[in-house]
Structure 1
Amino acid sequence: MDILGHPAYELLPSALYLLLLLFLSFSPKEKGNPSESSTLIQAFILLALLAHGLQLHDSVFTPQGFVFGFAQDLSLIAWVGLAFYWFQSWFLPISSLRWLAVLFAFACSLLPSVFPGTLISPRAVSDPWFKGHFIVATISVGLLSLAAMHAMLMSIQDRALHRQLAIVPNSRVAHWLEDLPPLMTMESLLFNLLYVGFALLSLTVFSGLLFSQTLFGRPLVFDHKTIFALVSWFLFAGLLLARRRVGLRGRAAIRWVLSAYFALLLAYVGSRFVLEVILQRA
């Protein structure tokens, strides 16, 4: 019996993420030895990441060939984002991102079992240039996904600080907000993520523009994916330039981050979703 092809194996990462979410949502606030509890959670996240990585590998590298689609793309982006969180959380105070990153990974890990994707040309995936472009693109979008989740947390924190968000005193949400680093620290961490993510996004976008024939086997075409990728790049570039020139910060910066990330998702996920699900084409 092929265990790897069994439906239970395909749903194992989702089950692990769900258990982790339940534990994070309903466990009492850490007391006594919080470092021990945190290490246990980190170990559980690593186990879920390993199971999710194996599931991704088997859903993409099939006996028929390289299979990919918007579901595999989102699942891979979520995996990379959570893996970045897991690594950086050992060194940076970003534990507040944990619940969102795990929730995103849980939702996206379910998608490949529902939307199987399409068979990609074997010629393309055997090309080392294509592989390099694919890896850098996935890492950049995964890192920027983590930055977008961080921006959403900052928005909640900012609204709570300005009393525009009703928070019940002594509630779990109130304790959670109290545990967040100061807003200035959160903002500094956000832009650290953005600088690295933008550098990788620049490499992805311009390698695609300059070497389209080599990477994709066709000359450059300004389709929806290319246009939205360029829009996202210009938005992120404008944000970082405004940050350096005029010290852009606060709600304006958060809205800018989320707008740029939405354009990025339309480029790398939205275009394939329209082709596969709405138009029923590969």
Structure 2
Amino acid sequence: MQALPFATIAFVLYVAAATWQGMALFRRVPPRQGMVRLLGALGLLLHIPVVVQLMGQSPGLLPGFTTSATLFMAVAVNVLLIASLFKPVLNVGIVLFPLAGVALITATWLPSHTSQTGLTPGILLHAISSALAFAMLAIAAIQAILVGLQNQALRHHHIRGIVQSLPPLTTMERVLFELVWAGILLLTLSIVSGFIFLDNIFAQHLLHKTVLSLGAWVIFTTLLIGRYRFGWRGMRAVRWTLGGCTLLILAYFGSKFVLEILLNR
């Protein structure tokens, strides 16, 4: 299978879905959530075989930076499409869909290094929970950006445009914390399974991931405690969510990016 044509078509579908949803958000076109989901789902259907091929070309079991990024993006898009059936989160696709498309195109062009490891059920549990945790918290981060924009607009009494198209701020914040709750539960499972099933989670090649993941867990847990104990909301919730997600991105992709992209190792 030629990966590039599939990746290119998926990219176009993702951008089309994001563009329509963005124009609907700014009230330039009527909302068509079913069409947006369909475009995103078609993009995902082309995304998945490219990921499978990229992982099949890898000699090891742990994919490198570009393959990992496009794999995690596929999981995130899938989670978003399913969650959008039950929660008003489809606006997250304005950012997530193009990122998934860019990751997919990049993965087909740039080589991805791999590393060997024994794949056991425990390690598989750790990998799946890590991917789902990242997907859920990445969606939460984009939701937090929308909450921040909405909060600032309301503070400055800008009640037209994007504010009119988004759900009420209380609903947006409730969905944000529901996403964080789901993400922290998955992140907890990822960390616990890592301690149980990985030989040495504080080994040199895993130390940064362990420390940063624990740091992200502390940030998200503190946010949830602050929410339900002290009523944290608004921009404080936005900042804590984005801070935790930043640590998580560095944990999952930081060293891979430095070694493979910057140092070409």
- TM normalised by structure 2 equals 0.89
Structure 1 position 118 matched with structure 2 position 106: no
Structure 1 position 184 matched with structure 2 position 170: yes
Q: 1:81 Cα deviation (Å)?
A: 1.9
Which deviates more from structure 2 when the two are superposed, residues 7-16 or residues 147-156?
7-16
The correspondence of residues 192-271 of structure 1 with structure 2, limited to 5 A, is 192-213=178-199, 218=200, 220-221=202-203, 223-271=207-255
Matched AA of 2:53: D
How far, CA to CA, are the matches of 1:55 and 1:77 in structure 2? 13
Secondary structure at the aligned position of 1:269 is classed as: helix
Please name the residue that 1:83 is paired with.
Answer: 78
2:144 to 133, 136, 151: 151
Contact persistence 1:13–1:55 (CA under 8 A) = no
Secondary structure at the aligned position of 2:86 is classed as: coil
Matched AA of 2:208: H
- TM normalised by structure 1 equals 0.84
Q: Residues 225 and 55 of structure 1: is their aligned pair in 2 closer, same or farther, counting only changes over 3 Å?
A: same
How far, CA to CA, are the matches of 1:226 and 1:278 in structure 2? 22
Q: Residues 23 and 191 of structure 1: is their aligned pair in 2 closer, same or farther, counting only changes over 3 Å?
A: closer
Contact persistence 2:123–2:198 (CA under 8 A) = no
Contact persistence 1:96–1:179 (CA under 8 A) = no
Kindly, what percent of the aligned residue pairs are identical? 28
How far, CA to CA, are the matches of 2:149 and 2:55 in structure 1? 36
Q: Residues 90 and 255 of structure 1: is their aligned pair in 2 closer, same or farther, counting only changes over 3 Å?
A: same
What's the RMSD between the two structures over aligned residues?
A: 2.2
Structure 2 portions without partners, runs of 5+? none
How far, CA to CA, are the matches of 1:26 and 1:151 in structure 2? 20
How far, CA to CA, are the matches of 2:109 and 2:62 in structure 1? 14
Q: 1:64 Cα deviation (Å)?
A: 4.2
Please name the residue that 1:98 is paired with.
Answer: 93
Matched AA of 2:11: S
Matched AA of 1:180: L
Matched AA of 1:58: Q
Q: How many residues align?
A: 260
Please name the residue that 2:16 is paired with.
Answer: 19
Secondary structure at the aligned position of 1:129 is classed as: helix
Q: 1:109 Cα deviation (Å)?
A: 1.9
Please name the residue that 1:57 is paired with.
Answer: 52
Larger radius of gyration: 1
Contact persistence 1:144–1:197 (CA under 8 A) = yes
